[in-house]
Chains A and B, each alone.
Chain A
Amino acid sequence: MSGADPLLSVDGLVKHFPIRGGVLQRQVATVRAVDGVSFRIGRGETLALVGESGCGKSTVGKTIMRFHQPTAGTVRFDGRDLAAMKPRELRAVRRDIQFVFQDPFASLPARMPVGDILAEPLEIHGVGDRRSRRARVVELLELVGLGADAVNRYPHEFSGGQRQRVGIARALALEPRLLILDEPVSALDVSIQAQVVNLLARLQRQLGVAYLFIAHDLAVVQHLAHRVAVMYLGHIVEYGDADTVFTRPAHPYTQALLSAVPVPDPRLRDLDRRILLTGDLPSPADPPAGCPFHTRCWKAEERCRAERPALEVRTPGGADSACHFAAEAELTSGPAGRTAS
């Protein structure tokens, strides 16, 4: 990242959800979905937020978009604090940050032809006149690889991959500077995933738009991300350059996660490179004390149960890692051969 102001900076972001119960609907517990998360995204850059379900990655995206009010922390866009903004300023920033959902079918209005779906954000923000908006809609369709004849068709007439293209076109209508993409290719067929991944890479080169790419598929993430933040139970446990995180992960959770991805090559299957974690993810309503990962970690010692490790550089030239015993392991170039138990 350049020395200039980052496009987005998130500092100490916290989002807790109350759990209410009993006849009085008193708050009986708190789900600590996001528990102090900080990261930066540079202009035209892709930061991937990865982790398993319940780690809080989607909540981070939604809290940045103000779908949720943050419990604590600041979100700065282009150097300006979103929380301190007047409603009018916030509306202007909203043009600059757009969201793409996992399921394009659920997120697109079913009764509207695609032309109207794409023109709607332009109308809401009073961009151009009818004619220029129509021209912009055609331009958007071509940008995402759909023909101009899509204008009069309805979402159900398209396949999943084409619908996701419509969703991306709509998000790009107002020329945003940041797209938050929440699992944008997870619902797509294998042969279509590659098309949409290529499209996202091309759009970024062409438009210079930055991505916050929220995903669980690490092979897809590696393909698109410049930098990666790995989340576990509401915390970022590893954060850095994508190549570093993927080839020399220092946090045991990242190592386990990468090693668990099935490799599409039968000749590599008996290499015993897999680190098999035992047990399930603890509940974010009752997270363990100390390091959030210690209940499943094969390196855990007394210190891990007592003291939460800070996210910082712990190995020479390595990524930031929140592990007292961080040590790089080379995973993708050969077998690591270890089983956690």
Chain B
Amino acid sequence: MTEPLLSIENLVTEFRVEGGVVPAVNGAGYHVMPGETVGIVGESGSGKSVTVASVLGLLPSSGRVVSGTTRFAGRDLLALRERELEQIRGRDIGLVFQDPMTALNPVMTIGEQIAEGLRRHQAGLSRRAAGARVAELLAEVGIPSPKERARQYPHQFSGGMRQRAMIAMAMANRPRLIIADEPTTALDVTIQAQILDLLRRVQREHDAALVMITHDLGVIAEMTERVVVMYAGRVVETADVDSIFHRPRHPYTRGLLRSLPRLGERRDELPAIGGQPPDPRRLPDGCSFRVRCDLSGGRAECGFQPALTEVAAGHVSACHFHAELAAEEVA
């Protein structure tokens, strides 16, 4: 069997705050196969972005990985020095963030920034060759007049064009993995459609794996093959995309899908999940979702942390009562 390209196991990450530490990731794990598209879905406080930041060494200074193992292409990422991690980021792993304005350097032209990324990872690449490659990359991501646009600064680009430039930068060194963290959340829906289309295309052409982190279940449904659902710093369900959307085996996943307003169907009342998103400073004992859960009914089992259990081939759920959802099929 093929080895996963990326695997994360039992990751624990915490943040130092005034008066103590706050857990952000509480033993999360998942894997990504070569060429695969995996969606990581969760709300604020779910730990979906912190998990990736932990793995890539991009935590803010108040954050710390307490324990866990991660492997990327056979190497233990958590054991690497910053210099070595830098080599991997931007070469083997391309990153696309929600807000390209904070990821791009405002005082460097778009072309200079992409060229810098190229030359850092490709020793001996001449200035001229880098310039030619920059124009090629910008053309590839659909930026018109690429040679002229390369000489412009980020603020001269629209939001959609900046996101295209960031994708060009992420793809520059032909990464094996692209990690996109809410890449279209700040964009309008017609521009989002363009960017999703572009991500799909570059991923296919480069044969790279794609990790898509988003709160938007529509984006997950359109883009991914496999889905990891996170809640309160843990993975609560993982399955192929069809199972997640049509045969969810965790009450949180089911609740999210039910509560979603959908185009083309109008209901008098949306079946909302009750309560508030988890506050990492005050997580309940046992299953973190039990205080909002409509399946638990206050049963004693929920006072204990449920283990991730395989409920079907390739489908795991962290719910004591996953079997009670087995008969349901969501249309």
Contacts and interface: CB of A to CB of B under 8 A. Distances in A.
Contacts of B196: 262
Interface stretch (B85-93, B259-267, B320-328): B259-267
Contact of B215 (A159, A189, A262): A189
Contacts of B194: 276-278
Interface stretch (B96-104, B115-123, B268-276, B304-312): B268-276
A201 B267 CA distance: 11
Interface stretch (B24-32, B62-70, B184-192): B184-192
Given A269-B221, A280-B158, A256 B190 contact: yes
B209 interface: no
B134 interface: no
Nearest to A258: B263
B217 interface: yes
B272 A333 contact: no
B269 A201 contact: yes
Interface in A209-253: 216-220, 222-223, 243, 246-247
Contacts of B218: 261-264
A171 B266 CA distance: 27
Contacts of A333: 264
Interface in B147-172: 158, 160-161
Contacts of A264: 217-218, 220-221, 245, 257, 260, 262
Interface in B239-259: 241-242, 245-246, 255-257, 259
A198 B268 CA distance: 8
Contact of A260 (B158, B192, B257, B262): B192
Contact of A223 (B255, B256, B266, B273): B266
Nearest to B217: A264
B301 interface: no
A223 B222 contact: no
Contacts of B255: 191
Nearest to A277: B190
A192 interface: yes
Contacts of B158: 280-281
B221 A265 contact: yes
B43 interface: yes
A197 interface: yes
A332 B260 contact: no
A159 B160 contact: no
A177 to B, nearest CB: 23
Interface string A143-166: 000000000000000011110000
Interface string B201-230: 000000000000001111111100000000
B298 interface: no
A106 interface: no
Given A261-B263, A262-B221, A262-B222, A194 B271 contact: yes
Contact of A262 (B188, B216, B271): B216
A257 interface: yes
Nearest to B144: A279
Contact of B219 (A222, A262, A276, A277): A262
Is chain A's binding surface mostly helix, strand, loop or mixed? helix
Contact of B190 (A217, A220, A260, A332): A260
Interface in A258-289: 258, 260-269, 274, 276-278, 280-281
A80 B292 CA distance: 48
Nearest to A195: B272
A263 B241 CA distance: 13
A194 B292 CA distance: 14
B105 interface: no
A274 B196 CA distance: 12
Contacts of B189: 52, 216, 218, 257, 260-261
Contacts of A92: none
B193 interface: yes
A276 B193 contact: yes
Contacts of A222: 261, 263-264, 266
A272 B159 CA distance: 25
A265 B276 contact: no
Quick one: which of B158, B190, B261, B272 has the most chain A CB within 10 A?
B190
A190 interface: yes
Nearest to B275: A191
A243 B266 CA distance: 9
A148 to B, nearest CB: 18
B197 interface: yes
Interface string B30-74: 000000000000011000000000000000000000000000000
Contacts of A53: 188
Nearest to B262: A219
A276 B190 CA distance: 7
A222 to B, nearest CB: 6
A220 B259 CA distance: 11
B303 interface: no
B261 A220 contact: yes
Given A194-B271, A201-B269, A264-B262, A159 B193 contact: no
A263 B263 contact: yes
B259 A190 contact: yes
Quick one: which of A194, A258, A263, A266 has the most chain B CB within 10 A?
A266
20 contacts: A52-B190, A159-B279, A161-B277, A190-B259, A191-B292, A192-B277, A194-B259, A194-B272, A197-B261, A197-B272, A198-B269, A216-B188, A219-B263, A247-B264, A261-B189, A264-B218, A266-B245, A267-B245, A267-B246, A268-B221
Question: Considering the complex of A and B, which 7 residue pairs feature the smallest CB-CB distances, nearest first?
Answer: A262-B218, A332-B264, A194-B272, A52-B188, A194-B259, A194-B270, A260-B193
Interface of B: 43-44, 158, 160-161, 188-194, 196-197, 215-222, 241-242, 245-246, 255-257, 259-264, 266-274, 276-277, 279, 292
Interface of A: 52-53, 159-162, 189-195, 197-198, 201, 216-220, 222-223, 243, 246-247, 256-258, 260-269, 274, 276-278, 280-281, 332-333
